[in-house]
Protein backbone atom coordinates (compact mmCIF):
# COMPACT_ATOMS: atom_id res chain seq x y z
CA UNK A 1 0.00 0.00 0.00
CA UNK A 2 1.21 3.52 -0.88
CA UNK A 3 1.06 4.94 2.65
CA UNK A 4 1.52 1.75 4.61
CA UNK A 5 4.53 1.84 6.88
CA UNK A 6 7.82 1.56 5.02
CA UNK A 7 11.24 3.10 5.66
CA UNK A 8 11.29 5.09 2.41
CA UNK A 9 8.04 6.91 3.11
CA UNK A 10 9.03 7.55 6.72
CA UNK A 11 12.36 9.00 5.57
CA UNK A 12 10.52 11.22 3.05
CA UNK A 13 8.25 12.59 5.75
CA UNK A 14 11.16 13.27 8.12
CA UNK A 15 13.32 14.94 5.49
CA UNK A 16 10.44 17.07 4.18
CA UNK A 17 9.46 18.18 7.67
CA UNK A 18 13.01 19.05 8.71
CA UNK A 19 13.69 20.95 5.48
CA UNK A 20 10.49 22.90 5.85
CA UNK A 21 11.17 23.81 9.48
CA UNK A 22 14.80 24.75 8.78
CA UNK A 23 14.08 27.01 5.83
CA UNK A 24 11.10 28.72 7.46
CA UNK A 25 13.13 29.32 10.61
CA UNK A 26 16.01 30.79 8.63
CA UNK A 27 13.88 33.18 6.58
CA UNK A 28 12.04 34.32 9.72
CA UNK A 29 15.35 34.83 11.53
CA UNK A 30 16.94 36.78 8.68
CA UNK A 31 13.87 38.93 8.08
CA UNK A 32 13.41 39.68 11.78
CA UNK A 33 17.11 40.52 12.23
CA UNK A 34 17.31 42.95 9.33
CA UNK A 35 13.85 44.40 9.98
CA UNK A 36 15.40 46.01 13.03
CA UNK A 37 18.08 47.76 10.97
CA UNK A 38 16.76 51.02 9.47
CA UNK A 39 17.77 52.19 6.01
CA UNK A 40 20.10 55.15 6.15
CA UNK A 41 18.30 56.58 3.15
CA UNK A 42 14.97 56.47 5.01
CA UNK A 43 13.17 54.97 2.00
CA UNK A 44 10.21 52.69 2.63
CA UNK A 45 9.82 49.33 0.93
CA UNK A 46 7.31 50.83 -1.51
CA UNK A 47 9.73 53.63 -2.40
CA UNK A 48 12.57 51.16 -2.90
CA UNK A 49 10.39 49.09 -5.24
CA UNK A 50 9.46 52.25 -7.14
CA UNK A 51 13.13 53.15 -7.47
CA UNK A 52 14.03 49.70 -8.82
CA UNK A 53 11.18 49.90 -11.34
CA UNK A 54 12.09 53.42 -12.43
CA UNK A 55 15.74 52.45 -12.89
CA UNK A 56 14.55 49.74 -15.28
CA UNK A 57 12.20 52.00 -17.23
CA UNK A 58 8.94 51.04 -15.53
CA UNK A 59 6.65 53.81 -14.28
CA UNK A 60 4.41 53.72 -11.20
CA UNK A 61 3.11 57.28 -11.05
CA UNK A 62 -0.57 56.67 -10.47
CA UNK A 63 -1.47 55.30 -13.89
CA UNK A 64 -4.07 52.64 -14.43
CA UNK A 65 -2.73 49.10 -14.18
CA UNK A 66 -1.00 48.14 -17.42
CA UNK A 67 -1.80 51.50 -19.05
CA UNK A 68 0.56 52.93 -21.66
CA UNK A 69 0.51 56.53 -22.83
CA UNK A 70 1.37 55.74 -26.44
CA UNK A 71 3.26 53.47 -28.81
CA UNK A 72 6.55 52.39 -27.27
CA UNK A 73 5.72 54.03 -23.95
CA UNK A 74 7.15 52.42 -20.81
CA UNK A 75 4.81 50.04 -18.98
CA UNK A 76 3.13 50.96 -15.71
CA UNK A 77 3.02 48.83 -12.58
CA UNK A 78 0.88 49.57 -9.55
CA UNK A 79 2.41 49.11 -6.09
CA UNK A 80 -0.07 48.32 -3.32
CA UNK A 81 -0.12 47.09 0.26
CA UNK A 82 -1.68 43.73 1.17
CA UNK A 83 -2.22 41.82 4.39
CA UNK A 84 -0.27 38.83 5.64
CA UNK A 85 3.29 38.12 6.68
CA UNK A 86 5.87 37.69 3.92
CA UNK A 87 2.99 37.50 1.45
CA UNK A 88 4.75 39.81 -1.01
CA UNK A 89 4.30 38.97 -4.69
CA UNK A 90 4.08 40.35 -8.20
CA UNK A 91 0.97 39.61 -10.28
CA UNK A 92 1.90 39.63 -13.99
CA UNK A 93 -1.76 39.47 -15.05
CA UNK A 94 -2.82 42.62 -13.23
CA UNK A 95 0.61 44.29 -13.37
CA UNK A 96 0.49 44.87 -9.63
CA UNK A 97 3.32 44.63 -7.13
CA UNK A 98 1.82 43.55 -3.81
CA UNK A 99 3.82 44.29 -0.67
CA UNK A 100 2.94 43.05 2.81
CA UNK A 101 2.37 45.54 5.59
CA UNK A 102 5.78 44.75 7.12
CA UNK A 103 7.43 45.74 3.83
CA UNK A 104 5.28 48.41 2.18
CA UNK A 105 5.66 51.18 4.76
CA UNK A 106 8.75 49.92 6.58
CA UNK A 107 12.12 51.61 6.20
CA UNK A 108 14.40 48.68 6.98
CA UNK A 109 17.05 46.62 5.23
CA UNK A 110 14.76 43.57 5.15
CA UNK A 111 11.90 45.56 3.63
CA UNK A 112 14.21 47.02 0.99
CA UNK A 113 15.49 43.58 0.02
CA UNK A 114 12.05 42.00 -0.28
CA UNK A 115 10.54 44.97 -2.11
CA UNK A 116 13.44 45.11 -4.58
CA UNK A 117 13.12 41.36 -5.18
CA UNK A 118 9.43 41.64 -6.06
CA UNK A 119 10.20 44.62 -8.27
CA UNK A 120 12.72 42.35 -9.97
CA UNK A 121 9.82 40.10 -10.99
CA UNK A 122 8.06 43.10 -12.54
CA UNK A 123 11.22 43.87 -14.50
CA UNK A 124 11.36 40.26 -15.69
CA UNK A 125 7.77 40.55 -16.89
CA UNK A 126 8.40 43.83 -18.70
CA UNK A 127 11.49 42.45 -20.41
CA UNK A 128 9.90 39.13 -21.38
CA UNK A 129 12.21 36.99 -19.26
CA UNK A 130 11.90 33.51 -20.78
CA UNK A 131 11.92 31.52 -17.53
CA UNK A 132 9.25 33.81 -16.12
CA UNK A 133 7.04 33.25 -19.14
CA UNK A 134 7.56 29.50 -18.87
CA UNK A 135 6.59 29.52 -15.19
CA UNK A 136 3.44 31.52 -15.93
CA UNK A 137 2.46 29.05 -18.66
CA UNK A 138 2.85 26.17 -16.20
CA UNK A 139 0.52 27.64 -13.56
CA UNK A 140 -2.72 25.89 -14.69
CA UNK A 141 -1.09 22.45 -14.98
CA UNK A 142 0.83 22.93 -11.73
CA UNK A 143 -2.32 23.94 -9.85
CA UNK A 144 -4.15 20.87 -11.11
CA UNK A 145 -1.17 18.64 -10.35
CA UNK A 146 -0.71 19.85 -6.80
CA UNK A 147 -4.41 19.61 -5.97
CA UNK A 148 -5.52 16.49 -7.85
CA UNK A 149 -2.33 14.58 -8.59
CA UNK A 150 -1.73 13.10 -5.15
CA UNK A 151 -5.40 12.14 -4.72
CA UNK A 152 -5.37 10.28 -8.04
CA UNK A 153 -2.24 8.41 -6.92
CA UNK A 154 -3.88 7.44 -3.61
CA UNK A 155 -7.17 6.42 -5.22
CA UNK A 156 -5.37 4.46 -7.91
CA UNK A 157 -3.30 2.66 -5.28
CA UNK A 158 -6.45 1.68 -3.39
CA UNK A 159 -7.96 0.22 -6.56
CA UNK A 160 -4.86 -1.72 -7.66
CA UNK A 161 -6.15 -5.12 -6.58
CA UNK A 162 -9.78 -4.65 -7.58
CA UNK A 163 -9.71 -2.72 -10.86
CA UNK A 164 -7.23 -2.64 -13.77
CA UNK A 165 -8.02 1.07 -14.04
CA UNK A 166 -6.26 1.64 -10.72
CA UNK A 167 -2.77 1.61 -12.19
CA UNK A 168 -3.71 4.00 -15.01
CA UNK A 169 -5.34 6.35 -12.53
CA UNK A 170 -2.27 6.34 -10.31
CA UNK A 171 0.02 6.94 -13.30
CA UNK A 172 -2.11 9.89 -14.37
CA UNK A 173 -1.78 11.27 -10.85
CA UNK A 174 2.01 10.92 -10.99
CA UNK A 175 2.13 12.71 -14.34
CA UNK A 176 -0.02 15.56 -13.04
CA UNK A 177 2.08 15.81 -9.89
CA UNK A 178 5.13 15.91 -12.16
CA UNK A 179 3.75 19.15 -13.64
CA UNK A 180 3.75 20.66 -10.14
CA UNK A 181 7.34 19.49 -9.65
CA UNK A 182 8.37 21.03 -12.96
CA UNK A 183 6.79 24.31 -11.84
CA UNK A 184 8.84 24.24 -8.63
CA UNK A 185 12.04 23.57 -10.59
CA UNK A 186 11.37 26.36 -13.11
CA UNK A 187 10.64 28.70 -10.20
CA UNK A 188 14.26 28.46 -8.99
CA UNK A 189 15.96 30.40 -11.82
CA UNK A 190 13.08 32.91 -11.80
CA UNK A 191 13.52 33.67 -8.09
CA UNK A 192 17.32 33.72 -8.23
CA UNK A 193 17.29 36.09 -11.20
CA UNK A 194 14.83 38.44 -9.46
CA UNK A 195 17.16 38.59 -6.45
CA UNK A 196 20.16 39.21 -8.71
CA UNK A 197 18.37 42.07 -10.44
CA UNK A 198 17.34 43.51 -7.07
CA UNK A 199 20.86 43.47 -5.61
CA UNK A 200 22.45 44.88 -8.78
CA UNK A 201 19.99 47.80 -8.79
CA UNK A 202 20.28 48.45 -5.06
CA UNK A 203 24.06 48.55 -5.33
CA UNK A 204 24.18 50.49 -8.61
CA UNK A 205 21.83 53.21 -7.38
CA UNK A 206 23.52 53.51 -3.98
CA UNK A 207 20.23 52.78 -2.22
CA UNK A 208 22.06 50.54 0.26
CA UNK A 209 25.63 50.84 1.49
CA UNK A 210 27.87 47.72 1.48
CA UNK A 211 26.92 46.67 5.03
CA UNK A 212 23.20 47.01 4.39
CA UNK A 213 23.53 45.36 1.00
CA UNK A 214 25.02 42.34 2.75
CA UNK A 215 21.95 42.25 4.99
CA UNK A 216 19.58 42.40 2.05
CA UNK A 217 21.57 39.62 0.39
CA UNK A 218 21.15 37.44 3.51
CA UNK A 219 17.38 37.98 3.49
CA UNK A 220 17.14 37.11 -0.20
CA UNK A 221 19.40 34.10 0.22
CA UNK A 222 17.16 32.82 3.01
CA UNK A 223 14.11 33.32 0.79
CA UNK A 224 15.81 31.47 -2.06
CA UNK A 225 16.48 28.50 0.20
CA UNK A 226 12.74 28.11 0.79
CA UNK A 227 12.24 27.66 -2.96
CA UNK A 228 15.15 25.22 -3.15
CA UNK A 229 13.66 23.21 -0.30
CA UNK A 230 10.19 23.23 -1.88
CA UNK A 231 11.59 21.98 -5.19
CA UNK A 232 13.63 19.28 -3.46
CA UNK A 233 10.69 18.07 -1.38
CA UNK A 234 8.43 17.96 -4.45
CA UNK A 235 11.08 16.05 -6.42
CA UNK A 236 11.50 13.51 -3.61
CA UNK A 237 7.75 12.97 -3.46
CA UNK A 238 7.59 12.51 -7.22
CA UNK A 239 10.40 9.93 -7.16
CA UNK A 240 8.68 8.08 -4.30
CA UNK A 241 5.36 7.86 -6.18
CA UNK A 242 7.11 6.83 -9.40
CA UNK A 243 9.08 4.15 -7.56
CA UNK A 244 5.89 2.87 -5.95
CA UNK A 245 4.27 2.40 -9.37
CA UNK A 246 7.29 0.60 -10.74
CA UNK A 247 7.26 -1.81 -7.81
CA UNK A 248 3.55 -2.49 -8.16
Active site residues: 118
Question: CA–CA separation, 221 vs 113, rounded Å?
Answer: 10
- Rounded distance, CA 158 to CA 162, Å? 8
Q: Which of 55, 58, 51, 143 is nearest to 92 (CA)?
A: 58
The DSSP bridge partners found for residue 96 are 78, 91
Count Cβ atoms below 10 Å from residue 81 Cβ, excluding itself. 13
**Contact assessment for residue 116 and residue 216, using Cβ atoms and an 8 Å cutoff:** yes
- What CA–CA distances, in Å, run from 16 to 6, 11, 131, 224? 16, 8, 26, 17
Alpha carbon dihedral 35, 40, 45, 48, in 10-degree steps, equals -140
Taking the C-alpha atoms of residue 98 and residue 78, their distance in angstroms, rounded to an integer, is 8
Between CA 55 and CA 67 the distance in angstroms is 19
Amino acid sequence: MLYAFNPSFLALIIVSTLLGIATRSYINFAFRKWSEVPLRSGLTGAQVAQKVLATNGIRTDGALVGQQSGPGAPPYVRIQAIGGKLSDNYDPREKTLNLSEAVFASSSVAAAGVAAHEAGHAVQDAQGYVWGRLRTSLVPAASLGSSAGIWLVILGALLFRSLPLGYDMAMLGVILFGCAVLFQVVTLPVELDASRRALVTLEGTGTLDPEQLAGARQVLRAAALTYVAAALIAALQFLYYLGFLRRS
